[in-house]
Amino acid sequence: MNEDNHELGFEELAAKYPDFPRLLIRKLDAELRGVALTERALERAKEEGCLYDAAADLGQETPRPVLGGALFRDGSWVLGMEPMYLQFPNGYKRSGSLYTIDVVDGKLWLLDGDNPVEEVFFVSYPEYFGKKTSRGTPMVKVVSARLPGLLFVYLYNRCDFWAEQKPCKYCSFPTRVFRRKPGYTQEGLDDLYETMNEALKEEGKWMNIVLLAGSNLSGNSPYDNEVDEYVKVLTTLRKSFGTEKVYAKMVASAFSREQLLRLKEAGATTYQPHIEVWDEKLFEWICPGKTKYFGRQYWIDSALSAVEIFGRGYVCTQFVGGVELMQPYGFKTIDEALESTLEGAEFFASHGVGPIAIIHRLEKGTVFYAQKQKPAPLEYYVRLMKGISEIHRKYNLSVDFNNYRCHPTGDLDRLHNAAREGA
């Protein structure tokens, strides 16, 4: 997407941005192009206890092998393997040819075509997979995991913006494998308590817990019932941890000050109402549900007022990097797209809200996938991650609760911190 419309590939970008770690360009490229395992690699994963068969949990007879996870040599996640994870069964529109993971000379490698480019390592799945609660619920249905390091509690897999036919256009949330309706019962909370206790027995396995749910418009006012569900889960987790506060990422809708105070009282320590896209017109086009309930400014104000409650750096907003380049309304060049998104990131950072960016995946089940949109180019992501990490440093914002070796911005922050400490 430069002047002659040629998208730069890995080697060209590594030469153009020599200060950007090659490994992180590879990580971004793998996410965009996707990664598949050869039969030999699958066999190795099985031998190493890293492949879990989820068929019984899913009530299926055909094996459904699920990978624990895979790491690069710096301990950060290999991205681009979503079809190998339990919660993401869908198809993806990728750019270019898939990378593969194969066994070469006895070791596991990421291959670009026939060339081994990075040694990689599988991660074992957690021991609570395959166990059941005292009520007989498979624990894997109660708490999901993405390895290494993350436990996911999907409070429910419904978003009322879908019911109103106003979903965010990149969203595939309702397609997750284990679906739960809103409204935890006491039995559901007991299952959560038991599962969490079992998961926490594996010391050193977890870096963070993510709580997330779709936007819930029911209740006395929109989002009230969503807050109720978070309060129930936070209260249960406090019991599991034996603490007054719950150190977990809480990804949620834009709440009012009163709603946020309720969450803080229930033990919440962080909060993430994601803005997704900064440009006003594009926000309205891409996030029509958020626009209706209750508009871009409301989502911004919610994040800003949360800083007063949870503190600087404990509130975060996420950009789905690349959606601002979707057509016909998106930006036509990566320069324009970057200028807009980094302006948004800087605005939030200057108010104590940590910005992060993820890579937009064109997943089956989303509006953008149905529209046959095209993924944003690799160069865009290199520049976006670099820009956001620079903003973190400029505002001295550590977003440690998001630093679990997935987001390349977190990887860059970690490298800069290590360099500073070593200086």
**Nearest CB to ligand SF4, comparing residues 148 and 214:** 214
Tally Cβ neighbours within 10 Å of residue 113: 8
- Closer by beta carbon to ligand SF4, 21 or else 89: 89
Closest distance of CB 297 from ligand SF4, Å: 17
Whole-number Cα distances in Å, 386 to 180, 266, 319: 37, 36, 14
In the complex, minimum distance from the CB of residue 347 to ligand SF4, in angstroms, rounded to a whole number:
21
Report the nearest approach of ligand SF4 to the CB of residue 160 (Å). 8
Q: Which is nearer to ligand SF4, 171 or 356 (CB)?
A: 171
Contact 54, 64 (CB under 8 A): yes
* Contact status, residue 249 vs residue 401, Cβ threshold 8 Å: yes
Query: Whole-angstrom Cα distance, residue 179 to residue 193?
Result: 19
Euclidean distance between CA atoms 144 and 86, whole angstroms: 8
Nearest approach, Cβ of residue 386 and ligand SF4 (Å)? 25
Which one, 154 or 310, has the nearer CB to ligand SF4?
154
Q: Which is nearer to ligand SF4, 214 or 408 (CB)?
A: 214
Nearer to ligand SF4, 139 or 277 (CB): 277
**CB closer to ligand SF4 out of 213 and 397:** 213
- Supply φ then ψ for residue 32, to 5 degrees: -75, -40
Nearer to ligand SF4, 70 or 316 (CB): 316
Contact assessment for residue 238 and residue 192, using Cβ atoms and an 8 Å cutoff: no
Residues 357, 155: Cα–Cα separation, whole Å: 23
100 Cβ neighbours under 8 A, 6+ residues apart: 35, 36, 37, 38, 41, 110, 111
- Nearest approach, Cβ of 79 to ligand SF4 (angstroms)? 19
33 Cβ contact list (under 8 Å, min separation 6)? 80, 94, 95, 96, 97, 98, 99
Q: How far is the CB of 176 from ligand SF4 (least distance, A)?
A: 10
CB nearer ligand SF4, residue 214 or residue 267: 214
d(CA 389, CA 368): 27
Nearest distance from residue 287's CB to ligand SF4, in Å? 6
CB of 129 to ligand SF4, least distance (A): 25
Q: How far is the CB of 68 from ligand SF4 (least distance, A)?
A: 26
Residue 204 region by backbone torsions, left for phi larger than 0, else alpha for psi between -120 and 50, else beta: left
Q: Pairing between strand 99-104 and 35-37?
A: parallel
CB of 253 to ligand SF4, least distance (A): 7
Closest to ligand SF4 by CB, 99 vs 173, is 173
Burial of 394: CB neighbours in 10 Å, binned 0-12, 13-18, 19+: exposed
Coil vs helix vs strand at 309: helix
> Where do contacts with ligand SF4 occur on this chain (CB under 6 A)?
159, 161-162, 167-168, 171, 173, 214-215, 289
Nearest to 133 by CA among 207, 203, 186, 209: 186
